[in-house]
Structure 1
Amino acid sequence: MDQQAVATLLTPEGWALLESLPPYDEHGAMALGEQLRRAGHAPELVSAALTQSRLRAAGERKFGPFAAGMLFTPAGLEQATRLPVAARHAARFATAGATRVADLGCGIGGDAMALAGLELGVLAVERDELTAAVATVNLRHWAEAEVRHGDATTTDLGDLQAAFLDPARRTSSGKRLLDPRAGSPPLSFALELAATMAAVGVKTAPGIPHHLLPDGCEAQWISVDGDVVEAGLWFGLAARPGVRRCALVLSDAGAAEVTDADMPVAVPGEVGAYVYEPDGAVIRAGLVAQVAVQVQGRLLDRSIAFVTADRYVETPLATCFAVEEVFPFGLKSLRTWLRDRGVGRLTIKKRGTAVDPDQLRKQLRLQGDNEATIILTRVSGRQSVLVVRPLRRAGAGVPA
């Protein structure tokens, strides 16, 4: 999706064609394209409209029904904040008392849409000209939203007292950057804004090391349906007093959060009847001990992010498994165990072990019609195999 394709769609004919298309069907796209060309539409317009229709269908995952009226670029869609997450960002600024927010590095406008949806004024700045044009289309319904094509670091922000930054986090070769100091704009620019503004937020990679967290910020890791999507750094009035690290878990069942406001001590112990695998956001935030306390459990090992408990306790912060058997790890003993039970399909989960699951699966020479799930991990320092049965995620009821 290049600038010419977007320009083609923004003509009266182009927009009318795009809006007239049926829901995207990958299998019927080629036939539909041929039909539209036979009807007299220019090939470049047909190509642009069908590409945009495909992107809109993919965009539903992040933007729900709003995607049907938006424009996308492939890179813009990939990097855009999911609307439920953007709504959480916007709520922080509203709670902080902001009335107008600078969205610096606005991309296709996802966060700016959420801010405008809360009736906050928005100055959205994007340095890529095509992406800025797409953001302008996506923000067309909100008169209080202004899009500027420019560099966030040199844009005159006037007397604005709130800003949200979504720095570019890839190198020119496409490699992901985990260090926010190497982003564009870099973390140093965000810190300069935080020193003068009342409320500042920075979206960064969820893999950010804890030692890079700036002093005085609240770091929040967010997962959506089990996928850790970001870490947000919040400063000033956008940060909550007493919270340094937190994890927010969003799913169809709702939202759950755990913070480091209280730091319990969790100790390792024997394997109980259940094992809990904390959500990735909880692990990234370093808050596994809070899950152990919540389920009245203990750690399998001091350095491993698995929790065990003697009874089932519902929590949206972890996936629960019933433990059926535990034995020391050994290739021969594991192979025998699986062969005796006719296991031909095996799910392997691991943490705290150098075993490669794909290589192990080949070595096990699985045969049979049955299936099993195992966890390879350390239990009080010993390499162990836990044979487990996955239970329904919390919120679906107590397992039978």
Structure 2
Amino acid sequence: MDDSGSPNDFDSWQAVAASGALLERVEAEQNRTPAVLERWRSEFGAESVRIALELCEARRRLILKWPEASGWIADRSGAEQASSKAAALHKANQLQLCEVTHVTDLMCGIGGDTAAFRKAQFEVRAIDRDPFRAQCAAHNANCPSTIQDIREYVDDGSFVHLDPPRRDSSGKRRHHWNELLPCPVVLRELQTNISRGMYKLAPGTNPNEPDLSQCRLEWLSERGRLTQCLAWWGETPTDERSVVRLDDGWTFRGVPTPELNHRGEFGSYLIRADPLLERSELQWTYARSLASMEGVCPGLGLLTADTLPKGSGLDVWEIEEVLPWRDKKLKAAIRTREGGEVIVHTRGRAVDPDQAALTLRAEGKNQIHLWCIRVGTRRVGIFVRRPTSHS
């Protein structure tokens, strides 16, 4: 949902979805030339063709997240903002562990999370101020829906899943708490008046946002990308945070702790914590749970060790050589390795990785991994490889 509401008419979209003939042509035709589009418009009408094109694109995107979404009704924006099946089912599973039985999906959008709550056998009601989105959720999740502004919502004792829209009517993304719609004041009031609930927020949400101080924060990732920050309220207040990598189920929870001691240089291994740990500020807590690691220098965020660390939350590279970041020296080292393609990694914008990779590319057969790091005032190039025994 965006705050201005969708201009789409659900009945028109449902009619196009039910007709079949136009959708079949749109799905089958890869070369949609102006002549083809004009022929469709003459036969089916311009508005029906517009709907069919967007519905096919929305379903194409949804199926990547929800394999059974081929019959769903959604516009493109709604499809892009919908939770994946993995994320939605994770939330539903957590609610089952909390013995929740009734869920209200506020600002439900096209019903991705709503569908997971229904799949988990909860009593579910979808609410959105946008009539089109509310009706999409009812259709996609096969549940009751209500067209209502959240300002008018009255707590009925159910658990509330609240998904403030992360895009405005122009499609611009909203990443920060104070940019959310309807506005932080309304959200704070809801949080105060509703006994138990959860915000679905952008993964870049500031974990130290004062309005979330009474919430337990949890970050999710899929396919190496951070996807959501969940802020649970109604539980016993805690400073503990948690992260979940949905691809393999790896999870970690803890309280943020200060940075480790810094040795000022790299040991035998260069180590980066999983982005989930960095975003939640748990990387130092996780590192302490494994021991044997140190920081390199303040603000860099990377770890180092002299012995191979074992931890599912770590991205570990074995260091082959450390050189000053000078093209001549780096190119010579690449030639000795029979290097060709160079993949440049960096932190803190020490270098433009794409430009550096292009500059350093050679004619050899081997792929080279090279980190550019600023250690103090010096830029260094670190040649790395994957440890053969790392798991």
Aligned-partner Cα distance in 1 for 2:301–2:337: 29
- Partner in structure 2 of residue 97 of structure 1: 99
- Partner in structure 1 of residue 68 of structure 2: 66
Structure 2 residue corresponding to 1:245, chosen from 237, 241, 263: 241
1:257 deviates by 1.4
- Partner in structure 2 of residue 203 of structure 1: 200
2:8 pairs with 1:3:
yes
1:74 deviates by 0.6
- Partner in structure 2 of residue 227 of structure 1: 225
3-state DSSP class of the match of 2:150? coil
2:281 pairs with 1:276:
no
- Partner in structure 2 of residue 218 of structure 1: 216
Structure 1 residue corresponding to 2:18, chosen from 6, 9, 15: 15
1:285 deviates by 0.5
Cα deviation 1:94-151 (Å, max 9, x = unaligned): 33333222211111011111112222222211122222222221122xxxx3211221
Q: How does 1:296-307 map to 2 (within 5 A)?
A: 296-307=292-303
Aligned-partner Cα distance in 1 for 2:382–2:123: 54
Q: What count of residue pairs does the alignment treat as equivalent?
A: 382
8 A Cα contact 1:179 1:212, kept in partner: no
Q: How does 1:31-180 map to 2 (within 5 A)?
A: 45=48, 48-63=51-66, 65-140=67-142, 145-155=143-153, 157-180=154-177
Alignment-mate amino acid for residue 56 of structure 1: R
**Of 327-336 and 19-28, the range deviating more from structure 2:** 19-28
Distance change in 2, residues 1:84/1:303 (3 Å): same
Aligned-partner Cα distance in 2 for 1:72–1:295: 49
Percent identity between matched residues is 25
Normalised to the residue count of structure 2, the TM-score between the two structures is: 0.83
3-state DSSP class of the match of 1:116? helix
Distance change in 2, residues 1:24/1:290 (3 Å): farther
**Of 218-227 and 92-101, the range deviating more from structure 2:** 92-101
Q: How does 1:310-321 map to 2 (within 5 A)?
A: 310-321=306-317
Aligned-partner Cα distance in 1 for 2:203–2:299: 20
8 A Cα contact 2:155 2:194, kept in partner: no
Distance change in 2, residues 1:246/1:14 (3 Å): closer
8 A Cα contact 1:292 1:308, kept in partner: no
3-state DSSP class of the match of 1:211? coil
Alignment-mate amino acid for residue 148 of structure 1: T
1:182 deviates by 2.6
3-state DSSP class of the match of 1:374? strand
1:273 deviates by 3.3
8 A Cα contact 1:132 1:149, kept in partner: yes
Distance change in 2, residues 1:291/1:244 (3 Å): closer
In the alignment, structure 1 segments of 5+ residues that lack a partner are 392-396
Structure 2 residue corresponding to 1:308, chosen from 299, 304, 307: 304
Alignment-mate amino acid for residue 199 of structure 2: V
Aligned-partner Cα distance in 1 for 2:99–2:188: 20
Normalised to the residue count of structure 1, the TM-score between the two structures is: 0.81
2:322 pairs with 1:352:
no
Alignment-mate amino acid for residue 249 of structure 2: A
2:256 pairs with 1:257:
no
Distance change in 2, residues 1:398/1:43 (3 Å): farther
**Of 80-89 and 313-322, the range deviating more from structure 2:** 313-322
Cα deviation 1:61-102 (Å, max 9, x = unaligned): 211x22122122110011111121112222333333332222
Aligned-partner Cα distance in 2 for 1:365–1:94: 53
Aligned-partner Cα distance in 2 for 1:349–1:307: 15
Cα deviation 1:273-297 (Å, max 9, x = unaligned): 3323222221101111244343742
1:172 deviates by 4.7
3-state DSSP class of the match of 1:87? helix
8 A Cα contact 2:342 2:360, kept in partner: no
Alignment-mate amino acid for residue 127 of structure 1: R
User: Could you say what the CA RMSD is over the residues aligned between the two structures, in angstroms?
Assistant: 3.6
Alignment-mate amino acid for residue 207 of structure 1: G
Aligned-partner Cα distance in 1 for 2:28–2:20: 16
Alignment-mate amino acid for residue 252 of structure 2: V
Distance change in 2, residues 1:368/1:43 (3 Å): same
- Partner in structure 2 of residue 394 of structure 1: none
Aligned-partner Cα distance in 1 for 2:170–2:61: 24
1:242 deviates by 4.3
- Partner in structure 1 of residue 3 of structure 2: none
Structure 2 residue corresponding to 1:27, chosen from 16, 27, 30: 30
8 A Cα contact 1:217 1:244, kept in partner: no
Aligned-partner Cα distance in 2 for 1:116–1:343: 54
